[in-house]
Structure formats: structure tokens, C-alpha cells
Amino acid sequence: MSVNRRDFLQLVGKAWIATPFFAGTWGCAPAVTRADPKTGLSLNCVAGDTTSDRALIWVRAEAASRVSIHYGTDPSLGRYVATEPVAVQSASDNTAHVEIERLKPATRYYYRAAVVGKKPGAIARFVTAPAVNDDAPVRFCFSGDSRESYQPFTIMDAIRLQQPDFFLHLGDTIYADRGGAARRLPDFWEKYRANRQDAPTQRLFSETAVYVVWDDHEVADNYMPGHPLAPVGRRAFFDYWPVRRHAQEPDRIYRSFRWGRAMELFILDTRQYRNPKEGSILGSEQKRWLFEKLGASTARFKIIATPVPLYGGGRDRWDGYPLDRLELLDWVTRNHISGLICISADLHYAAVSRVPRTNGVKEITVGPIAAPMNVLANGNANRFEFFSNETFNYGMITIDPKASRAHAQVEILDQDNRVMYKTRIASET
């Protein structure tokens, strides 16, 4: 396949600049992100793992400080509830996670962090999920793959203009193994600080909540369980994202979230439970959890979010674990799971694929947010309904359960919010 000069430079040139060998000359400056002396805060807060009645707030502040979250429905926070102050942890790079609870469903909340003895920080906002039987519409955006050397991540501003109920980051939230490879926990923290201080990212995260999952570049390219840096990368991931820890399984990342009657979101971890000898990308416990949750869900649409795609080639994706993929698709068919949509990233191109062995299930693959485009790929495979590897992109799904025939509107948009692809998927329930 021929590659023009612009694409060659985009694929090879920037990747070459970002390699660890040249990090001393070409790498980005260290992300110091000192605390604001007036507020005692460094970096903006991030709300995540929102449900119908609670949210988790991530905050970073000056060392040894105590911080509380002010929150309420008044945009100016003239009246608010304040959480009990908690200490930021030096062992977690002076970050803290604060749970706010007893929230109302389908409600916009405003919040800010306040260090004890300092001026409160800027006001941000998020919306809670509708109650299980609420017919409220839902709109969310998703993408993956954000490499530090490609800042500013201008696509985050495009996403912000859509005013989504939440943003889902589908992995490769940092590139720990590029631009000076991370080897120690502080190195990983620095990678997160560098990406979090990106201005478009801060603007988006101040206006909506996030869900997030990891893939390989949070540790190392195509890493497998047992990699010596996996525990370090996982710890940094939890330190820097508002991901609620599971009481019995604190390292668990897979989880689900219900958004009214419209949808249920199933976020899979396709990285830390892999077992090539057993042909499993999910591991037995996660697979059992997924089947039970899918089978019990009464949502009109079930969204499976997998960091690596079901189809896309290569041993590092579901293609390398065909037994797990076959078991999942056969189970979905046998159990008549309706309204199923799969979303993924990782391939550095946008595509819509018809999933074999299903009754019309589609996989929506998007990205990158900002990283080299996969200019060597093409859209010749029969499974493709749409393919583009020319620009950064993201996906958006809008579901209105109150429509005469409930449907999910699926769109893929570029960094200038031009629609690249659009379709409607009808619910069977």
C-alpha cells in the first residue's frame, strides 16, 4: 500500500520523536503542576463512576493538606453540602478520592474542592444517572488513545460542545512507554499529570463526568499479566482516575452502570485477566459476571465497552482469543440478548463492523483522541460497514426510550465535529 508524505510523517515521524531513546532531547517537559497558592489545589477535580445517587470526586492538592468537596444544585454554590475533610495521600502523589452520596437521580450537580484554610477552587459539574425505570434520554461520547506528545487534545473541546451526560475513555489514557518510558511509580504519576494538565481535557472534565478503563499503554505495549510493571501501572491508574474500588477485589476495574430504562454500560477489563493457555481474554470470573449481568439487565440497550476490539486482527486483541469471543457471541445469541452494541478503541482508526454469529450486532470502533493514525490499515474487510483512518475521532450514542420506537443513534465525528458516520439501531424490546 502506498503512503503519502504527510501520512508517513504522521505515522513514523511523531512516533520516532516519542521513542524513549530520544526522550532527553525531544520529550515533553516534566509535569510539575505545583499547587495554586490561593486554593492549595493542583489540577482540576474530576468526577467519575456516577450512578443515580452518588459520584466519586478525584482531587489533587498540596502535600499534607486536607480537602473537602462542596456540592449542590445551585450553579453558584451559594448553598451547598460539604463533605468531611480528608487528607491527600503522599503515597498517592497527594491525591484523594471523595465519595458524595444521597444524590437525586437525573440531576445536574455543581461541585468544587476546598482545601482547609484556603480559598475554594473552581466550580465544575456533572449529571447523575436516571433511576432504573426512568425513561430519560441519554447521550454519551467515547474514544481512546491519548498520547502526551500530541497535545493539545483539541478533540476534547469538540466533545465538550456536545454536552454529553458522560465521557468514556476506552484505554491508553497515557502512553507510559513512550516519550521516556516510566519505570517507577513517580514516573507513571508524571505521565498522568502531563495528560491531565492538557487545557481541552480540563475543560471537558469540568463539565461532565467520566468513566474510564485501561489498556496496555498504561503499563507497556501489549503487556501480559505477570509483567513486572503491571502492579505499578495499575496503582498509578487508580491514583489518578475516579474509579471506585471494589470492596472484595480492590484491583478490579470491570464494572457496570445503569442509566435508566435507556441503557446499561458494561466496562470490560481485557488486560489483566488474560490467560493464553486457556484462550481467555476476560478470565473466568469476569466472564461469569458479564453473562450474569447481561442476562439480568432490563435496559433497552446493553453497551459492551471493550478497550480492544472484537475484530481487528492481531494476537493482542480478541482475535488472539477466539474461544472467548466465540463463547460470548454464542451465549448472546442463545439467550436472545436484545439491544446489544459493542464499542471499542485501540486500532487508531474509526470503523463500524458487523459482528458475525449475532443477529445484527454492530461494533463501533473509534479513536485515537490524539496519537498516530493507523495509515497502513484499510477498509477492505467484508465486516466493515464504515471505515476511516484519516483523522482523530470519537463516537457518540444518543438513546431516547420515549421515542415511538426506541432506538440508539450512533455517530462518529471528527475533531471539528463533522459527522463521518451516522445510523440508527432499533431496540427489540
Task: Give residue 405's pLDDT band: very low, low, confident or very high (50, 70, 90).
Answer: confident
pLDDT at residue 396 tops 90 = yes
314 three-state secondary structure: coil
Question: What is the bridge-based pairing of β-strands 166-169 and 209-212?
Answer: parallel
Give, for 16, the enclosing helix (H) or strand (E): helix 14-17
**Polymer length in residues for the chain:** 429
Question: 324: part of which helix (H) or strand (E)?
Answer: helix 322-334
Instruction: Say yes or no to pLDDT of 3 above 80.
Output: no
In sequence order, the 6+-apart residues with CB closer than 8 A to the CB of 376 are 1, 3, 11
**Gap between the Cα atoms of 292 and 297, Å rounded:** 9
Residue from 382, 389, 376 nearest 348 by CA: 389
Q: Phi and psi (nearest 5°) for 143? A: -170, -175
Q: Which one-letter DSSP state was computed for residue 91?
A: G
Least confidently predicted of 194-208, 259-273, 392-406: 392-406
Average the pLDDT over each of 21-35, 40-54, 56-70, 186-200 and give the range with the smallest value: 21-35
d(CA 341, CA 353): 11
Q: Which of 269, 249, 265, 267 is nearest to 257 (CA)?
A: 265
Rounded CA separation 211/216 (Å): 17
Say yes or no to pLDDT of 369 above 70.
yes
User: Do 174 and 132 meet the contact criterion of CB atoms below 8 Å apart?
Assistant: no
Query: Each residue of 103-119: pLDDT tens digit?
Result: 999 999 999 999 999 99
Average pLDDT over residues 85-103: 98
Q: What is the DSSP letter of 85?
A: P
Tell me what pLDDT residue 408 has. Answer: 95
Q: Given this model, what pLDDT does residue 14 score?
A: 35
Residue 158 has pLDDT above 90, yes or no: yes
Strands lying side by side in the sheet with 138-143: 95-100, 55-60, 46-48, 209-212, 166-169, 138-143, 393-400, 407-414, 419-426
Counting Cβ atoms within 10 Å, is residue 329 exposed (0-12), middle (13-18) or buried (19+)? middle
Q: Can you give the pTM of this predicted structure? A: 0.92
- Position 313 scores a pLDDT of 83
pLDDT of residue 28: 43
Give residue-wise pLDDT tens across range 244-297.
999 999 999 999 999 999 999 999 999 999 999 999 999 999 999 999 999 999
Mean pLDDT, the chain, whole residue set: 92
* Cβ count within 10 A of residue 27: 18
Q: What confidence score (pLDDT) does residue 75 get?
A: 98
Mean pLDDT value of segment 136-147: 98
| Mean pLDDT for the stretch of residues 59-79 | 98
Residue 112: predicted pLDDT: 98
Taking 50 as the threshold, does the pLDDT of residue 19 lie above it?
no
Q: Read out DSSP for 205-268?
A: HTTSEEEE---STTTSTT--TT-TTHHHHHHHHHHHS--PPPSS-TT---EEEEETTTEEEEE-
Confidence of residue 32 (pLDDT cuts 50, 70, 90): low
